[in-house]
Structure formats: C-alpha cells, structure tokens
Amino acid sequence: MTVSRTATDGAKTQRAGRKEAEDAGIELGELSEMLGYPLKRAQLKIFEDFLRCMAPLQLTPAQFSVLLLLERNPGRNQTEIASTLGILRPNFVAMLDGLEARELCSRVRSANDRRSHHLVLTDKGRAALARAKKLVAAKHEARLNELLGPANRAALVAMLTKIADEF
Amino acid sequence: MTVSRTATDGAKTQRAGRKEAEDAGIELGELSEMLGYPLKRAQLKIFEDFLRCMAPLQLTPAQFSVLLLLERNPGRNQTEIASTLGILRPNFVAMLDGLEARELCSRVRSANDRRSHHLVLTDKGRAALARAKKLVAAKHEARLNELLGPANRAALVAMLTKIADEF
DNA sequence: TATTGTTATACTCTATAACTATA
DNA sequence: TATAGTTATAGAGTATAACAATA
C-alpha cells in the first residue's frame, strides 16, 4: 500500500522503498507476502515507465486509453466512453477539453439527440495514437516480455483481469 | 488506464468498466492486452476489498502497512519508516498524527539525537494490528486464494514483486 | 420527468520549498 | 553545514450536487 512517485518524464523523485541508506535493514515482513503491497508498487512502476516511454507524445495512460477507445468505438458519446473507463462524467469534461485543444479528438453534436456529443478521433489523433502504440509496444511492453517472458506476461495479465472482473 | 472508485465502506459509487447498460458493446480492444490497464483495475479492486474487510478497524492499506512495519522494526524514526514505504516525509506527519491520536503508535524523542522520533506501537496498536492481520487473512487473502488458487496467487505476487523491484 | 454535458466544489494523494531545532 | 521533523502549499485524481439544454 502507500507508495508514491511521479516521473512525468524528469525521472527525479526519491527512489522510495529501495532507497539507499537510511532504511538500513528495515524488514517488510508480512507486507511482501500480501497481494496489495506488491500490486500497488508494480502498478506505479508500470505507469512510471509508460509515462517515460510516452514522453515524446505527452500522453498519460488515461489519455491513451481514451484515444484507443475512440479508435475502436467511433461516435460514442461522453457518458459511454467515460463509464467504460471508470471515469466519472464530470471529470471527463476537462480531460476531453485537453484532448480537443490538442486536436486529437473532437466532439460532434448528435443530430438525433442534440444533448449528446459523438466523439471521434481527428486525423492528428489517429496519427498520434499510431505512434503511441508503436512506442508502447517497442519500449514498454517489450521490456515487460524481456523481464517475465511472454508466457508469464500473458498469465499475469490473465490473473489481473480475473481479479478486476471477478473479485 | 484511468479507472476510479472509492468504497471507503459504503460500497456506493458507479460500478465502472463493467457498468450495466450505456456501454452497449463498447470494445476495449488492445487495452485489455496491455499490462497497465488490468493492473490498475485489479489494484483498485484489491484496495476496495481491503477497505471493506478492514472496515471494523478503520485502517487504510497505508495505515496498515505502517503498523506492520512498526511491529517488525520497532524504534525506527519517521524518515526510515516513511522512505521504506515510499511515503514522503512531509506527508508522513499527518498520517502519524492520525495514528497517534488513535493511540495506535507513539513518537518517542530519541535520547541520543533529540531531532528524531523513535516510532513504537502502543499496546492498543499491537492489538489492533493483530485483529487486522486476522481480518485480512480470513476475509481478504482467503478470497484471493479461492479465486486464483494458492500456487497462482504466489506466482502473481512473485511477478508483481519482480516488476516492482527490477523493472 | 429523465438524461447529457457541464460547473462548482471538496477531499485525498502526492510533491516541493522552506522553516525549526537540533547535530 | 547538514539532518529530522514539520509547515505550507500546490497539483493531480476522484467524488458529489446541481444546473441548462434537450428529450
């Protein structure tokens, strides 16, 4: 649990956990056997690395996931996209404002229901997403495969998905 | 990635991701194959369940991890405990204030170095931690074993630890 | 009356700078 | 001068209530 970090790209911040001196022989004890602790630490590491790999495109994991969803599901409205990703509608507004300001996607008022916006990728957004996918595959996911091996990596994703869906 | 939630105990909040209607057939696509997305969702689910199981003791994962560390490593100072857990020292102050106000641990000024505080569990803290461990083992971790099986669960923790330490 | 997008707002986490008291 | 604990503060992320436009 706990655990902090933030390596927006600068890669500064305190190394945390595996610091250096100071924690001269502090024992984690049961903590390392529980799931939550390594799970949280791994999640932070992965997001950190994702940010690093994505630095040239300046996309956060959340923004990347939105673009990916828009590509796969063009023309959906804000409520649909946000709820699929577990983003609350009010919080999705500023996020979309940002993506739209960068011309990566756009809101198109629906003709049928003039309350809702169809969300679509712009050409620029499509291009950025294509580059982003390549960066993630070549740098981020490739390193993962290197560390765990493809079979273990797949097993890991499967177990995490099972927890997310069934726990 | 994205994903939200917060089930401090009330278990309200929108179901997110696996919502109900609205997301009529929205496809996640590559998202489900990447590590970050299921990793984040699993982490939120696990913390949610941890909070639920821990509701009678009102301990967050972070607070639990601090108490566990104090039990295993009595007499360490704030810098040591905080850095081990990846908590920044400034943020650790309010956290300790809370635990001390509930008389679960206490700060003892060091005789050698009057700048630092030895951190120790109180008897009440030791008792709370004992109860907490039982709750986590009986409710939280047991359910995990049920879902994945002990071998898979161990493999999962091993892989996450590897990522946290070596990635 | 219900829903979509939105605003306002608040609370938690995380992060940095700078102070104080010791060393 | 350097370190331990602290204060103040700022920024993300996440949460809820309520409003305008539309259905």
Kind plus residue range of the DSSP H or E element containing A105: strand A105-109
Chain B residues within an 8 Å CB radius of A86: 2-5, 14, 16-17, 41, 44
A87 CA to D15 C1' distance (Å): 11
- SS3 of chain B: helix, strand, coil, percent, to 5: 60, 5, 35
Is 60 exceeded by the pLDDT of residue B13? no
Split at pLDDT 50, 70, 90, the class of A9 is very low
DSSP symbol at B121: E
What is the rounded CA–CA span in Å between residue B72 and residue A54?
Answer: 39
Strand partners, A121: A105
What is the rounded CA–CA span in Å between residue B52 and residue B45?
Answer: 11
Is 80 exceeded by the pLDDT of residue A15? no
* A164 against B9, higher pLDDT: A164
Name the one residue in this structure whose structure tokens are 């993962």: A144
- A128 Cβ contact list (under 8 Å, min separation 6): A57, A59, A67, A104
Hey, are the CB atoms on B36 and A42 less than 8 Å from each other? Answer: no
What is the rounded CA–CA span in Å between residue A45 and residue A39?
Answer: 10
B6 touches strand D (CB under 7 A): yes
Condensed to tens digits (0 to 9), the pLDDT of residues B17-59 reads 333 344 578 999 999 999 999 999 999 999 999 999 999 999 9
Q: Which residue is nearest to nucleotide D20 (CA to C1')?
A: A115
Split at pLDDT 50, 70, 90, the class of A13 is very low
Quick check: helix, strand or coil at residue B12? coil
Candidates B144, B126, B145, B146; CA nearest to B57 is B126
Is 80 exceeded by the pLDDT of residue B8? no
Q: What percent of chain A has pLDDT over 90?
A: 85
Q: Which residue is nearest to nucleotide D8 (CA to C1')?
A: B90
CB distance B53 to B139 below 8 Å: yes
Hey, are the CB atoms on B86 and A165 less than 8 Å from each other? Answer: no
Q: Which residues of A130-140 are buried (b: 16+ CB within 10 A; e: fewer)?
A: eebbebbeeeb
B114 touches strand D (CB under 7 A): no
pLDDT at position A3: 57
Point out the least confidently predicted range of A70-74, A127-131, B3-7: B3-7
Find residues 95-114 of chain B whose CB sits inside 8 Å of chain A.
Answer: none
A116 CA to C3 C1' distance (Å): 9
Condensed to tens digits (0 to 9), the pLDDT of residues A96-132 reads 999 999 999 999 999 999 999 999 999 999 999 999 9
Q: Is the dihedral of CA A125, A10, A28, B97 positive or negative?
A: negative
CA distance A132 to chain B (A): 12
pLDDT at position A2: 52
Q: Which residues of B82-105 are buried (b: 16+ CB within 10 A; e: fewer)?
A: bbbbbbeeeebeebbeebeeeebb
What is the rounded CA–CA span in Å between residue B82 and residue B89?
Answer: 6
Kind plus residue range of the DSSP H or E element containing A109: strand A105-109
Candidates A38, A44, A33, A34; CA nearest to A4 is A44
Average pLDDT, integer, range A132-156: 97
DSSP symbol at B149: -
Q: Which residue is nearest to nucleotide C17 (CA to C1')?
A: B90
Hey, are the CB atoms on B164 and A69 less than 8 Å from each other? Answer: no
What is the rounded CA–CA span in Å between residue A166 and residue A81?
Answer: 22
Is B79's Cβ below 8 Å from some Cβ in A? yes
Condensed to tens digits (0 to 9), the pLDDT of residues B78-129 reads 999 999 999 999 999 999 999 999 999 999 999 999 999 999 999 999 999 9
A74 CA to D4 C1' distance (Å): 55
Hey, are the CB atoms on B43 and A39 less than 8 Å from each other? Answer: yes
Condensed to tens digits (0 to 9), the pLDDT of residues A39-50 reads 999 999 999 999
What is the rounded CA–CA span in Å between residue A31 and residue A160?
Answer: 19
Report all structural domains of chain A as residue ranges with CATH numbers, in order of start.
61-124 (1.10.10.10)
Condensed to tens digits (0 to 9), the pLDDT of residues A17-37 reads 333 344 578 999 999 999 999
* A42 against B1, higher pLDDT: A42
Give the total residue count for chain A. 167
Is 80 exceeded by the pLDDT of residue A143? yes
